[in-house]
Amino acid sequence: MTDRYASFVQSGAGRALVKRLGLPDPPRLRRHNPGDPLLPGPVLLGAATGGRLADPVAAILTAAGVDVRTGTGTAPPAAGRDDSAAADGPTAGHGAAAAADGPAGRDERAGNGGAPAGGGTSARFGALVYDATGITDSTGLRQLYDFFHPQARAVLPSGRVIVLGTPPAECGSPREATAQRALEGLTRSIGKEFGRGVTAQLVHVTATGDAGTPTSLEATLRFLLSGRSAYVSGQVVRVGTGPAVVPADWNRPLAGQVVLVTGAARGIGAAVARVLARDGAQVVALDVPAAGDALAAVVNEIGGTAVQLDLTTADAPTRLADHLAERHGRVDVVVHNAGITRDKTLGRMDADRWDAVLDVNLSSQERINDVLLERELIPEGGRLVAVSSIAGIAGNRGQTNYATSKAGVIGLVDSLAPALAGRGISVNAVAPGFIETRLTARIPLVVREAGRRMNSLAQGGLPVDVAETIGWLGWPASGAVSGNVVRVCGQSLLGA
Amino acid sequence: MTDRYASFVQSGAGRALVKRLGLPDPPRLRRHNPGDPLLPGPVLLGAATGGRLADPVAAILTAAGVDVRTGTGTAPPAAGRDDSAAADGPTAGHGAAAAADGPAGRDERAGNGGAPAGGGTSARFGALVYDATGITDSTGLRQLYDFFHPQARAVLPSGRVIVLGTPPAECGSPREATAQRALEGLTRSIGKEFGRGVTAQLVHVTATGDAGTPTSLEATLRFLLSGRSAYVSGQVVRVGTGPAVVPADWNRPLAGQVVLVTGAARGIGAAVARVLARDGAQVVALDVPAAGDALAAVVNEIGGTAVQLDLTTADAPTRLADHLAERHGRVDVVVHNAGITRDKTLGRMDADRWDAVLDVNLSSQERINDVLLERELIPEGGRLVAVSSIAGIAGNRGQTNYATSKAGVIGLVDSLAPALAGRGISVNAVAPGFIETRLTARIPLVVREAGRRMNSLAQGGLPVDVAETIGWLGWPASGAVSGNVVRVCGQSLLGA
């Protein structure tokens, strides 16, 4: 469960050797601790001409205590070093939508490139955030270059790059849809290029309804900027129109929520139970009776309650619904984490392996959802969060059963999200990549090392990274996020 | 431009060494030659209970001269060895929709697995084709196991696995949409598992309109079964309702069509010109004046005509339109292949590199499309085929400009396809992975070897593989295929 190579690399002797030999250089990722500021430095906020989001974003960030700089990219003074020096523009709220189309003020650093470096002195922004909604034609994409090129080295380690766009399907012309779709090529390349734990995302913000208001966007921006999203990179997140309820305290975004976590006795499930309890949830932790002791330990640690139940039995959904109805009267967030693997190539796979994996990982989720929804135990503002897998996206040798079940989970999200939008219930999934658990620790060394390093962050993720992502999707404030499958994979090379 | 390792592996001494050391084992892929039968052996056709496509598919294949077997998987006699032995079922046209839900007739080979093997005696089918449209719930996915498990070793080298499904967005219930989406996990896993040049695809066939008829599906089935699709695997292809015109001769599916190919002087573009001319097209080959000699050589070889034009000049679209109008009166198929790279990390990239790549690879395509469409030079039944890239899907370090332009091409397909459906014009793209060209030959050895081997076929593709795929998308018979981005990447591990 430990990445000894990463520990070594982060030591003094290790650093020297890594540099000398050109070995993979996994950075220590910034992770969330309650009370942390959102970012380790100021945000540089830019916008293409005519963008609709820079002002609301500036308002959100400023209210969140972030130091917001605007303009075309003149670097601010090094954070924490010379804060009294004159900033180069208004700090927030106005001017944010200024066009990034002129060369004025751009500092020339064409010679020092975007290659990963061990924290050069030019890195001074916690995040670069760009409102690209104003780009309506491919020729307008040049504005991206004008904003990002001078700042390619100016992002602090574990900093963030966020580009905001319009969902292509909502665009008014093929030209606009084409340009908006092009943004994805930029953010995915930046994720692979910037290094040092910097992540890059594209956020598609709907232009319909009340969307684009601070309320609907705030949860997603806070998640993506914070250490909560340490292992999420290269993703496209869609923010729509669902109702969002801002918490009284952003350090307890799940305060008062009743959360069910299946498969909670160990691994990712136990991390989910811990993180959600830390964030204020009343956790109902479920696992099979055989895992009773481990489940009890988790529950005692976090002050939740335990349910021992085999989800594949015929009466499990009803028994679970009865339990939730009697004890809590409802369940606000359902985290379908329980899952198994039974790997074999298809020719060697007996039918029991197929059936068990499909039933635990997919069909039992459907049966539980149906009963909970039919009995209206999931109230308006409820959240379904399922666990898919990178194998469900890309397929995997020896996992026809597992990949089929996890691809089905994506179908469940795609189909249930619109079906439940009218009830104010969001449906999303996470798709973990290589996560350091008891299971991955058993993988042979060479395969394990390949899995760990073949991503933009050059390391495996931790269960807490998956848990934080699930937590965000479960927040009352995340109602505008539905129908998403968010990979927690450090932008793994693997894909479909 | 040659893969010496693959040649070595395919030699006698190489084979022995590869087996001994467990080295990558790139198979020799079956490629198309005019007059070839579609497949090297019979098709085993199965269907889930209630499927709507098995009968039309059986009719298409039988008419195409394919030996169609049906049932739950009793293997036929070895092809070419004992053809007089009794077959195990009706050969076509009826019984194809029988449920694959019983164990009867399944041969037991659970012990010999699906691992790649050097052509075992059990491999007797040219393709396994399964109509999964009848699966309306995750519990019905078991039928996939029942069909594929006993045949996992029964597919001939360079054989085909095709699963036919319903587009999840068209499904009547979340349960059905979930099960249909799950199919993708199966086909992608099979593509990674079966080895020996076997490819696997999921074909989503619309249930609306006239779709599902032999006419709309035939082109896609012929392409995917044939050697034309040698380097296409792990894809999801959507077949919709556009009008399809069946050719008089399937060996000349582009007979009489006027085809424009940009960037035709060398590499992939030259291969496109050759393949499309071979298939009956009148090719108008375009390239910049500086490539005039190479362009002339291509044109002389194939009997086409040459246009020397720099597409980035302001009057290029008009001059091109004038030329096409005067010489041909129309252009049936436009292949936007011209493209450039100017790689640098974003911090080191000068503005000229950004602008040139975006203009050549994306904006010029848009300008040309606009003029050709406005002047109605692309008639009903016309085809736009663009070249995207795996970098446009996954992003790439050092290619922010290129990836942005190629992601934009995907947006162009997504947005123009519905916009032009009413005019009967289809819009699609190919996204090549690692293709052996002059350019890839210059990549340093280790990086080149990684790119070549990191896919399910353990080798790079050839320009002809991209050309064949473009050709299929250009056929008059492919009118039901629009809005697709088809990767020609051997199911590369790389993805988004």
What average pLDDT does the segment B361-375 reach?
98
Sign of the torsion formed by the C-alpha atoms of A443, A449, A455 and A458: positive
What are the chain A neighbours of B390 within 8 Å (beta carbons)? none
A393 and B182: CB-CB below 8 Å? no
Give backbone dihedrals phi and psi of B38, rounded to 5 degrees, phi first: -60, -35
Q: Which of A5, A130, A231, A402 is catalytic?
A: A402
Q: Residue B140's pLDDT is what?
A: 98
Residue B74 in this model has a pLDDT that exceeds 70: no
Determine the distance in angstroms separating the CA of A436 from the nearest CA of chain B, rounded to an integer: 21
Two tokens at B168? 């999840």
What average pLDDT does the segment B104-116 reach?
33
Contacts of B391 (CB under 8 A, 6+ apart): A185, A189, B399, B402, B403, B406
A348 and B398: CB-CB below 8 Å? no
Dihedral, CA atoms, A246, A252, A255, A259, nearest 10 degrees? Answer: 110
Two tokens at A230? 């340490």
User: B105 — alpha (psi -120 to 50), left (phi > 0) or beta?
Assistant: left
Q: How far is B105 from A251, CA to CA, in rounded Å? A: 61
Determine the distance in angstroms separating the CA of B226 from the nearest CA of chain A, rounded to an integer: 23
DSSP helix/strand/coil, A418: helix
Q: Which of A108, A236, A348 to mutate to test the interface with B (most CBs of B within 10 A)?
A: A348
Nearest CB to A153: which of B142, B347, B350? B347
Q: Which carries the bigger pLDDT value, residue A140 or residue B11?
A: A140
B148 and A192: CB-CB below 8 Å? no
Q: Which carries the bigger pLDDT value, residue A152 or residue B74?
A: A152
DSSP helix/strand/coil, A307: strand
Q: pLDDT tens, B427-438? A: 999 999 999 998
Whether A375 and B177 have beta carbons less than 8 Å apart is answered as no
* DSSP code string of B232-261: --SEEEEE-S------S-TT-TTTT-EEEE
**How many residues are listed for chain B in this entry?**
496
Q: Which of B5, B130, B231, B402 is catalytic?
A: B402
pLDDT above 90 as % of chain B: 77
A358 and B187: CB-CB below 8 Å? no
Give backbone dihedrals phi and psi of B488, rounded to 5 degrees, phi first: -115, 85
Size of interface A-B (CB pairs under 8 A): 292
Q: How far is B433 from B492, CA to CA, in rounded Å? A: 7
Q: How far is B331 from B372, CA to CA, in rounded Å? A: 9
A415 and B358: CB-CB below 8 Å? no
Q: Residue B8's pLDDT is what?
A: 74
Determine the distance in angstroms separating the CA of A283 from the nearest CA of chain B, rounded to an integer: 28
Nearest C-alpha in A relative to B114: A347
Cβ count within 10 A of residue B105: 13
What are the chain B neighbours of A395 within 8 Å (beta carbons)? 184-192, 234
Nearest C-alpha in B relative to A486: B496
Residue A386 in this model has a pLDDT that exceeds 70: yes
DSSP helix/strand/coil, B390: helix
B348 and A112: CB-CB below 8 Å? yes
Q: Residue A200's pLDDT is what?
A: 98
Cβ count within 10 A of residue B418: 14
Rg (CA), chain A: 23
> Quick one: which of B235, B39, B236, B202 has its CA closest to B132?
B202
Two tokens at B236? 């999801």
Q: Which carries the bigger pLDDT value, residue A94 or residue B213?
A: B213
Determine the distance in angstroms separating the CA of B475 from the nearest CA of chain A, rounded to an integer: 24
Q: Which carries the bigger pLDDT value, residue B380 or residue A103?
A: B380
B348 and A144: CB-CB below 8 Å? no
What are the chain B neighbours of A148 within 8 Å (beta carbons)? 346, 400
What are the chain B neighbours of A72 within 8 Å (beta carbons)? none
Q: How far is A262 from A385, CA to CA, in rounded Å? A: 11
Residue B166 in this model has a pLDDT that exceeds 50: yes
Q: What is the ipTM of this complex?
A: 0.89
Q: pLDDT tens, B244-287? A: 899 999 999 999 999 999 999 999 999 999 999 999 999 999 99
Contacts of A134 (CB under 8 A, 6+ apart): A47, A48, A49, A50, A51, A52, A97, A140, A143
Nearest C-alpha in A relative to B168: A411
Determine the distance in angstroms separating the CA of A7 from the nearest CA of chain B, rounded to an integer: 26
Q: How far is A163 from A179, CA to CA, in rounded Å? A: 13
> Quick one: which of A177, A156, A150, A165 has its CA closest to A201?
A165
What are the chain A neighbours of B344 within 8 Å (beta carbons)? 113
Q: pLDDT tens, A424-480? A: 999 999 999 999 998 888 888 877 888 888 999 999 999 999 999 999 999 999 999
Q: How far is A71 from A154, CA to CA, in rounded Å? A: 14
To which residue do tokens 């179908």 refer?
A411
A348 and B407: CB-CB below 8 Å? no
Q: How far is CA B423 from the centre of its chain?
A: 24
pTM for this entry: 0.89
What average pLDDT does the segment B442-452 reach?
82
Nearest CB to B347: which of A114, A171, A192? A114
Active-site residue A5, yes or no?
no
Residue A238 in this model has a pLDDT that exceeds 90: yes
Sign of the torsion formed by the C-alpha atoms of B56, B59, B65 and B68: positive
Q: pLDDT tens, B296-351? A: 999 999 999 999 999 999 999 999 999 999 999 999 999 999 999 999 999 999 99
Q: Model confidence at A111, in pLDDT bands (50, 70, 90)? A: very low
Cβ count within 10 A of residue B288: 17
Nearest C-alpha in B relative to A393: B185
> Quick one: which of B361, B233, B362, B339 has its CA closest to A395?
B233
Q: pLDDT tens, A300-346? A: 999 999 999 999 999 999 999 999 999 999 999 999 999 999 999 99
Determine the distance in angstroms separating the CA of B192 from the nearest CA of chain A, rounded to an integer: 5
Nearest C-alpha in A relative to B103: A351
Whether B492 and A496 have beta carbons less than 8 Å apart is answered as no
Sign of the torsion formed by the C-alpha atoms of B229, B482, B409 and B367: positive
Q: pLDDT tens, A93-106? A: 333 333 232 333 33
DSSP class of B407: H
Contacts of A184 (CB under 8 A, 6+ apart): A202, A236, B395, B407, B496
Determine the distance in angstroms separating the CA of B99 from the nearest CA of chain A, rounded to an integer: 17
Residue A4 in this model has a pLDDT that exceeds 90: no
Q: Residue B213's pLDDT is what?
A: 63
Whether A324 and A375 have beta carbons less than 8 Å apart is answered as no
B181 and A111: CB-CB below 8 Å? no
Nearest CB to B186: which of A191, A366, A403? A403
Residue B159 in this model has a pLDDT that exceeds 90: yes
Nearest CB to A182: which of B175, B362, B396? B362
Residue B477 in this model has a pLDDT that exceeds 50: yes
A184 and B407: CB-CB below 8 Å? yes
B362 and A178: CB-CB below 8 Å? yes
What's the mean pLDDT when you consider all of chain A? Answer: 88
A351 and B191: CB-CB below 8 Å? no
